[in-house]
Copies of this chain bind each other. A is one copy, B any other.
Amino acid sequence: MQELLEKLIEKHKPVCNKGKIPDYIPILREQDPFGLGITVVTTDKKIVSAGDCPTRFTLQSISKVIALILSIMDNGEEAVFAKVGMEPTGDPFNSIYKMEVFSYSKPLNPMINAGAMVVSSLINGKTVSEKLERLLKLVRDMAENDQIQIEEEVFRSEWEQAHRNRALAHFLKELDLIYDVEDALAVYLRQCAIGVDCTDLAKIGLCLAQNGRSYSGKQLFSRHVARLAKTFMVTCGMYNASGEFAIRVGIPAKSGVSGGILASVPDRMGIGVIGPALDEKGNSIGGIAILEDLSCEWNLSIF
């Protein structure tokens, strides 16, 4: 297994050349565009890593999956999906036009920014801090790593440039889907700035693969909620390339603008990947290439 992972890292490093570090979040520009790393954690507790992954990167959109889980645990499915839909959109993650032109009363799904802000604002907690602490706790529990922190510097950098997200948030406020714009943004952007490494991601993926049971065996949430999260990962997890990813790879996965990918192979393994160079849809270009090969090699597609 180690050998295969090393081989794939070497094989796909060159493709990172064709990707780009996004420039709209200043601090992300400092990432190594040629970094490419992977960790696999299996249900029989093997942990294998390969590549020169940066020690640490931020969850960014990957956090949407975990916030959705917590929000459903806190509020129940019905309450959450009263305020956010379940449909893939075919549109970019920061899109808003459909809500205007089709007079939709809620964002189309919890994996686009608008939907994620609604979901996060529903997390229990009287203050921004309380909500975040509870979310951070779930992340730590899933990854079984108490060192996981919010990287304030990353948050600051995004907060200052969050014009589009602010626009979305005010749009949501008009629709009465969030209570306080600044609070909703503060929760959302801080959850994006939670710092992890590939092993953390892989263990989070394992927890989903084991239907809510963590690496060391704690049942953190129900099988039903785990399934729901994995379903959204398939239909909307890779931005508006989710359909193609389902065809080519077929693994529940969620990507982030930092270049991380969280993948979860039901009943088999969790996978964490990092590769900061992104393709034009915003997914790690090297990460997708590796996952496609792995899926083929180990027959991981759920379809």
**What's the minimum C-beta distance from A270 to chain B, rounded to whole angstroms?**
15
Which residues of the partner chain B approach A102 to less than 8 Å between Cβ atoms?
Answer: 101
Are B227 and A236 in contact, with the CB atoms below 8 A?
no
B231 touches A250 (CB 8 A): yes
Copies of this chain in the oligomer: 4
Choose one: B171, B232, B243; the contact of A109 (CB below 8 Å): B243
From B97, B234, B235, B244, contact of A100 by CB (8 A): B97
Q: Are B227 and A235 in contact (CB under 8 A)?
A: no
A90's partner among B88, B100, B250, B301 (CB-CB below 8 A) is: B88
Does chain B have a CB within 8 A of A220? no
| CB-based nearest B residue for A165 | B170
In whole Å, how far is A163's beta carbon from the nearest beta carbon of chain B? 4
A230-243 vs B, CB cutoff 8 Å, 1 = contact: the mask equals: 11101110001111
A102 to B95, CA, bound (A): 12
- 0/1 interface trace, chain A 92-129, chain B, CB 8 Å (1 if under): 00011110111000001100000000000000000000
Measured in the bound complex, the distance between the Cα atoms of B165 and A174 in whole Å is 10
A303: Cβ under 8 A from any B Cβ: yes
Q: List residues of chain B with CB within 8 A of the CB of A85.
A: 243-244
Taking the closest CB of chain B, its distance from the CB of A280, in whole angstroms, is: 13
**Residues in B neighbouring A98, C-beta threshold 8 A:** 90
B90 and A91 contacting across the interface, CB-CB below 8 Å: yes
Judge whether B163 and A173 touch: CB under 8 Å.
Answer: yes
Q: How far is the CB of A130 from chain B (nearest CB, A)?
A: 25
B247 touches A243 (CB 8 A): no
Q: Given the complex of chains A and B, what is the CA–CA distance between A201 and B2 in angstroms?
A: 44
CB distance from A1 to the nearest CB of B (A): 23
Cα-based distance from A88 to B302 in the complex (angstroms): 18
Contacting pair A228 B247 (CB below 8 A): yes
Q: Contacts A234-B234, A235-B235, A235-B243 given: A101-B90 contact, CB under 8 Å?
A: no
23 pairs across A/B with beta carbons < 8 Å?
Answer: A86-B243, A88-B88, A88-B89, A88-B235, A88-B242, A89-B90, A90-B90, A97-B100, A109-B243, A163-B170, A163-B173, A164-B170, A164-B171, A166-B173, A166-B181, A167-B168, A227-B301, A228-B303, A231-B301, A232-B243, A232-B247, A234-B234, A302-B302
